[in-house]
Amino acid sequence: MVKAVVGEETQLKLAEDRLEKSSTPVQVGLLIGKLSSSLDRGFVFDLIPTPPNDAGAPACSVLEPAKDDKRKGPKPKSQPSDSFSLSIDKDWVAEHARQVSRMLVGGMKVVGIYIWASDSAFKNSNITLCQTVMGVAKAAPLSEIDWDERLLIHICYSPRRWTCRNCAVASNITSSSLRPCDFKMGRVLNSLQHFRCMYNFDIRLPIFHKNSSNLQTFSEALCHGISVHAKDLRSAKAMFDGNLVVNDDLCTSDGLHEVELLLPFMKDTEACSQKDIAGVVDFSGSVCSFAFLNPKEPISQAVADIKDDIITSLQSRLGIICDEADGEVGPTETSGQQARDGADIQEPRDGISSGTPVSQIVLQSFRQSCNLSLPRRVFVPWLAGTFVCDYLQPSETFEVLKDRCVELLSMEAPADESTILEPEIDAPSAVTKSFWDVVVPLPSAFDSCLEKSGIEKLRGESSRKSTEFSNVNIMAAGIFLLLSIIIGYILIFVRRS
């Protein structure tokens, strides 16, 4: 339960000036900040206005009361406006929150919304506002701990006044959903402490045979894998600048702190009895994570934020891939269920070429190796030395990134590309391993001489199979090349003759 909220003075003043100059009667946007359970406090770092929706309409507008129908056009401000209320495109604000939350790093969240409106309009629209806050809360969940409140800041223009309210999002909207809470301006961004963690992981996800489990698409399998791994990650111990994080230590030094995560020894296997295996997914790579911490919070909070950020980052990347796949497939090929049925009927599909994006492949009925590269994470400098992040697919450039920063965060495009951090590199896409290579842990070099027979034989068989496959491919390509040359010659001959 947040008792008091501190807003970052510099950013909030800037926002106020911006609003004043814009002369828009109403505006809605997101609050970026943090709710701290250990301090019972909320922090607001910045306000981000929600951009106009796809149709070009603003996310928020003033509704005139029905009885005023006859009079048209915008009302002058002097008009008694007791009966005005607000109309908010809730879905659009929620979508904005979803997109923005993907761009935030550890310790920074979408903690609610702000509204720039007159007092009476605000009072008349409590329910709409609560609904909007709930939509935002659903689209941008805070963390694993179910935080059932968000903030609603009202900036009133006459008289100029900032008020903050707690909005309970767990229950139905009632008159008590909105409760006032203490709000003041202060400096919070500059004192933030910076933590960084490079997290390397390598997970094996067994894909069970369709007889013994539900069918899973690639992305569903990964999503499940991430949530299972999240449990292990939460139990991980952490080191901070080489020392173990114990209890409620506070961090007393400035600068960038390195966090190292120590995972429990081989716990990442889901318990299961003897089961048929259709294949295995090797999910590996690195996640670079940042977290920003108020100096009054313990280091353990930064560790929790880092862990949270790692999981969120993996989920966001998968989300981006899936969003894209949805876009590609579009209305022609419909829901997952149909794709599944289809895949079931035409069992041995050859290749990804048939139109299904990799993320939507049903693994149990797909008999070839395939890989799904998640976008890499880049960090863009934001306020007071902090960062926001974005995800770039191999095909995307910094221009895309800049556009997103401008559009979603309404920040100025980073002029200098060299300020963007790129700690992760694109994964090489070559797949040369086979099933047995992956599931049988490689014995280290020194003892491999002991017993080569069994595994090597198995490995040998499967790799031979895969080479056969590639041989066929190469031969096909060669024949095709030969054919085309011949046809070319024939054509030339025909022309000449």
Partner 1 sequence: MENVNESTSVRVLCPKLVLDKNEPGLQWLIGSPFFPPHTVVSAVRCIHTDSSSPDYRRESEELRTLLLKGFEVIGALVVANSGDGMSAAGEAIAAARRLRKLLRRENGKKLDSRQVIGGVADCRGGDIQFFVSKSESLTSFEAVNVLYDGHPEKYVWERGCLLRCELPFKLPIYYPANKPKDSEKMFRHATEAVIAKFKDPKAAYLVEALSKTSAEVPQPVILRGVDLDFDTDLSNVKLAGESAQDSEAGLLSCSHFCLESKKSARVYSVEHADRIQVSILLNSSDKSEKSTAPVAEYFPALEEAKVLVVDFKLEVLCYSAKGLPLKHAVSKLLIPGLIDQFNLVGNTVLPNLLAQHPQLHPYHFSPPGVLHPITVVYELNYGETEMKQVEVRKSLHLRLGLPFDRPLLRIANALDISTSRDVVRSDAKWKGSSLLKDVHVGIPSSGVSGGSVSLVQGSYEYYHYLQDAFNDSGWGCAYRSLQTIISWFRLQHYTSVQVPSHREIQQALVEIGDKDPSFIGSHEWIGAIELSFVLYKLLGVSCKVMNVRSGAELPEKCRELALHFETQGTPIMIGGGVLAYTLLGVDYNEASGDCAFLILDPHYTGSDEHKKIVNGGWCGWKKAVDSKGKSFFLHDKFYNLLLPQRRNMV
Query: Angle at the Cα of 378 (from 242 to 394), degrees rounded to 5?
Result: 130
Task: Write down the least CB distance from residue 210 to partner 1, Å.
Answer: 12
CB nearer to partner 1: give 418 or 429. Answer: 429
- In eight-state DSSP terms, residue 52 is P
**Cis bond before residue 76 (omega within 30° of 0):** no
Task: Write down the least CB distance from residue 317 to partner 1, Å.
Answer: 7
Task: Write down the least CB distance from residue 311 to partner 1, Å.
Answer: 12
With helix as H, strand as E and coil as C, how does 134-171 read? HHHHHHCCCCCCCCCEEEEEEEEECCEEEEEEEEECCC
- In eight-state DSSP terms, residue 349 is -
CB nearer to partner 1: give 115 or 374. Answer: 374
CB nearer to partner 1: give 83 or 369. Answer: 369
Tell me the C-alpha distance between 199 and 201, whole Å: 7
Task: Write down the least CB distance from residue 244 to partner 1, Å.
Answer: 5
Tell me the C-alpha distance between 10 and 18, whole Å: 12
CB nearer to partner 1: give 4 or 198. Answer: 198
For residue 91, the SS3 value is helix
Tell me the C-alpha distance between 361 and 222, whole Å: 12
CB nearer to partner 1: give 173 or 197. Answer: 197
CB nearer to partner 1: give 29 or 279. Answer: 279
CB nearer to partner 1: give 334 or 371. Answer: 371
Task: Write down the least CB distance from residue 330 to partner 1, Å.
Answer: 24
CB nearer to partner 1: give 119 or 282. Answer: 282
The contacts of residue 403 (CB under 8 Å, 6+ apart) are 413
CB nearer to partner 1: give 3 or 209. Answer: 209
> Within a 10 A sphere around the Cβ of 88, how many other Cβ atoms?
23
Task: Write down the least CB distance from residue 198 to partner 1, Å.
Answer: 5
Task: Write down the least CB distance from residue 448 to partner 1, Å.
Answer: 9
CB nearer to partner 1: give 36 or 368. Answer: 368
CB nearer to partner 1: give 271 or 415. Answer: 271
Length of the chain: 497
Tell me the C-alpha distance between 295 and 251, whole Å: 7
Phi, psi torsion values for 359, nearest 5 degrees: -65, -20
Separation of CA 170 from chain center: 23
User: Could you tell me which of 396, 336, 393, 331 has the C-alpha nearest to residue 360?
Assistant: 336
Task: Write down the least CB distance from residue 466 to partner 1, Å.
Answer: 9
β-pairing verdict for 109-116 and 149-157: parallel
Task: Write down the least CB distance from residue 225 to partner 1, Å.
Answer: 8
Query: Angle at the Cα of 181 (from 180 to 182), degrees rounded to 5?
Result: 135
The CA dihedral of 86, 90, 94, 95, to the nearest 10 degrees, is -120
Task: Write down the least CB distance from residue 477 to partner 1, Å.
Answer: 23
Task: Write down the least CB distance from residue 207 to partner 1, Å.
Answer: 7
Give the pair of three-digit tokens for residue 389: 């992040």
Residue 353's identity, in one-letter code, is S
Give the pair of three-digit tokens for residue 129: 């506002």
Tell me the C-alpha distance between 160 and 352, whole Å: 59
Helix (H) or strand (E) holding 61, with range, is strand 60-63
